């Protein structure tokens, strides 16, 4: 099955599943709702720094939702990394959702398709956690773990530390990914909520590549570690 066919089948299955659950949902006590979250839209303070973005959106009912996730990086208007996910989500425990679907890595080329099995929710001590297992073509596999915490300094001023790590099951030299722990990123952002839905922020972001992924980056003349100060915007609708 081609990459395009695989993506079409998974997206169709997700849409049919959500449509079916909507048809059998109750009346006004379980309305159809939607939310769009722009989690990060930022750039470094240095000249010619890349623009990074990360966002999520969902539509559905209380027990069944269709989620969309995206993140990426642009440098001089050229896409360096762009990822899209479409997921069916339902609760499996208080504050925790099971998510199943498809991830497509559009950039860097060549495109990679992955099946997704993940959980997302609120861990003890109010850590927002997102963990996902990705199964790709030709025996590829990956694991992503991320966590974020919000510390309220005032009702409008919020400090948010976060961390993310990515692990891969095998080398993929075409896109510069090595097996094992590929990279770790951590950030600390201070935002001011002008209103709850709109918050500019400043922060610092650190990332480090490891193992074969670092070796591939060195071979291409790229840095394996980066620290930058960032300015950005967070919003939801």
List average pLDDT for each run of 10 residues in the chain, which is 237 residues long. 48 50 55 96 91 96 96 87 97 96 95 98 95 97 98 97 98 96 98 97 97 96 95 96
Q: What is the pLDDT of residue 79?
A: 82
Q: What is the largest CA-CA distance in the chain?
A: 59
Residue 143 per-residue DSSP state? E
Burial class (CB in 10 A: 0-12, 13-18, 19+), 142: buried
CA distances from 48 to 45, 51, 77, 214 (A): 9, 9, 11, 23
Q: Which residue has the tokens 């080329």?
A: 109
Q: What is the pLDDT of residue 9?
A: 46
Q: Which residue has the tokens 């918050």?
A: 199
Contacts of 5 (CB under 8 A, 6+ apart): none
Q: What is the pLDDT of residue 28?
A: 61
Q: What is this structure's pTM? A: 0.86
Q: What is the pLDDT of residue 26?
A: 47
| Structural domains in the chain, sorted by start | 3-22+33-236 (2.40.160.40)
Closest CA to 171 of 115, 213, 221, 121: 213
Question: What is the Cα–Cα distance from 11 to 185, expressed in whole angstroms?
Answer: 30
Q: What is the pLDDT of residue 166?
A: 98
């Amino acid at each position: 099955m081609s990459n395009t066919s695989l993506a079409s089948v998974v997206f169709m299955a997700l849409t049919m599943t959500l449509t079916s659950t909507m048809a059998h949902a109750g009346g006004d006590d379980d309305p159809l709702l939607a939310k769009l979250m722009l989690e990060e839209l930022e750039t470094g303070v240095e000249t010619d720094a890349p623009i990074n973005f990360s966002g999520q959106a969902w539509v559905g009912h209380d027990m069944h939702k269709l989620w969309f996730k995206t993140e990426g990086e642009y440098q001089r208007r050229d896409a360096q990394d762009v990822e899209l996910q479409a997921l069916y989500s339902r609760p499996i425990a208080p504050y925790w959702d099971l998510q199943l679907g498809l991830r497509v890595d559009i950039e860097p080329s060549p495109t990679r398709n992955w099946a997704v099995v993940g959980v997302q929710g609120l861990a003890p001590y109010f850590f927002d956690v997102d963990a996902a297992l990705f199964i790709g073509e030709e025996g590829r596999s990956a694991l992503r773990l991320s966590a974020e915490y919000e510390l309220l300094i005032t009702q409008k001023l919020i400090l948010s530390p976060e961390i993310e790590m990515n692990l891969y099951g095998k080398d993929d030299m075409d896109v510069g990914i090595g097996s094992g722990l590929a990279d770790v990123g951590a950030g600390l952002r201070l935002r001011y909520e002008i209103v709850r839905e709109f918050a500019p922020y400043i922060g610092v972001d650190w990332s480090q590549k490891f193992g074969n992924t670092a070796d591939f980056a060195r071979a291409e003349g790229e840095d394996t570690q980066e620290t930058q100060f960032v300015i950005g915007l967070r919003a939801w609708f």
